[in-house]
Each structure stands twice: as C-alpha cells, then as structure tokens.
A = this chain, B = another copy of it.
Amino acid sequence: MREIFDAELKALGDDLQAMAHRVQHAIEAAGQALATADLALAERVIADDLAIDQLNRQLDEQCIHMLAQQQPVATDLRVIVSALRMSATLERMGDLARHIAEIARGRYPRQAVPQSLTGTFTEMDAAARRLAQRIVTLLESRDLALAEQIETDDDRLDDLHADSFTAMLGGGWTAGPQQTVDVTLLARFYERFGDHGVSIARRIVYLVTGDLSAGEPLHIQG
C-alpha cells in the first residue's frame, strides 16, 4: 500500500514539474512573440495553453483520487493539497502567457509595446524567464535558495511594473489609447507572474520546512 502511494506521490511531483516546464516554455514564447511581433509563435502559445489546462485537470483528478484511495495524513496530505494549489497557480500563469500572446497577435504586424518602453519590457521578459526557470528547478531540487531568488525576481517585476506606469503617467507620454491599454495590461500580466511565482515558492518552503508563515496566502494582485 505504501509503495503504491509513494509511486503515486512521485508521479504527482513529476506531473507538476512537467506542467511547470510547459508554463516556462509558454512564458518564454509569449515574451518572444511580443518582442518580435511573431504571429505564428503567438498562435502557438494560445493553442498550447489548452494542454496546460488539461494537465491541471489531470493533476486535480490525480490528487482527488489519492485523497480518496490513500486517505493520507500529515506530510502526505500536505503534499497533495499543496500540489492541488500549485497546479492551479501554474494554470493561471499559463493563462497570463496566453493573454500576452493574444495582445501580440491582436497588434500584428505592429509591435504592441511602444519603442520608449521596449527596454522595460525586455527586462520584464528576462525577470519572468528567470522566475519560471527557478520554479522548474525549485520543484525538482527543493533548493530553498531558489525561493529567495524568486522573491527577488518578483521585486524586480514589481519595480518594472511601476516603471511602466511612471512612463505612461509622467507627462511625456505621447502614445495613443490602444498602446496605453496594451501597456497597462501587459505590465500587469508580467507583475502577476511574480506574485504567482512567489506563491509557489512559499508553498515549497512550507512543504520543506513546515513553516506556516511562509505559506501564508499573498495578496495576489487579482
């Protein structure tokens, strides 16, 4: 019985890592589609999000199956409930990547981001990629140093989000309403990658250390 359960727990961890990998790929591809106005790539991100949603559903079903069949307690229960939540968080990160790709697709063949903010969005993209890579590695390694670095990535995304608002509201903004709308939403989507990444990082810290305060729900920007 315990052996079956251990195998299921291992499979659950593997599925979560596979999902994180796909989300990482979606974030990278969405960023590239946005930066280069690549319509085909944007379309691919949008289509591939269905697979992430499907993984989320499978993971949910697997968690509920394990709760029902194995009736886990203590640490095992904590692992499964955390997997349920991390899967939901990864699914939302996939949605955000899709939303970025949808904006890139909507503006094609133009660039969605005005030239004056290209540098800010290049940095956002870089921070989101770092964060996504660290989530993948953290899920594999449980190396808590990565959790701290994810908090740093989130801080950076918050700063860049604020920078984009300063650029729009600081007085010298000459772009039209479409670009203002796009920058507002894009900056928000990037900022939320950070919140979701931190949510996953804190959940892993909680799983490893049992420190409840680390697992407290954040004020995720809704």
Question: A interface vs B, CB < 8 Å?
Answer: 53, 56-57, 63-64, 67-68, 71, 73-74, 77-78, 81, 84-85, 88, 91-93, 95-96, 98-99, 165, 168-169, 173, 177-178, 180-181, 184-185, 188-189, 192, 216-217, 219-222
Question: Is chain A's binding surface mostly helix, strand, loop or mixed?
Answer: helix
**Are the CB atoms of B192 and A222 closer together than 8 Å?**
yes
Which residues of the other chain, B, contact A73 by a CB distance below 8 angstroms?
68, 71
**Are the CB atoms of B185 and A220 closer together than 8 Å?**
no
Q: With the chains together, A81 CA to B68 CA distance in Å? A: 11
Can you name 18 A-B pairs with beta carbons within 8 Å? A56-B217, A63-B81, A64-B77, A64-B81, A67-B67, A88-B88, A91-B217, A92-B220, A95-B219, A95-B220, A95-B221, A96-B222, A98-B222, A169-B178, A169-B181, A173-B177, A184-B185, A189-B222
Q: With the chains together, A72 CA to B152 CA distance in Å? A: 40
Q: A177-B180, A180-B184 are in contact. Are A77 and B81 (CB under 8 A)?
A: no
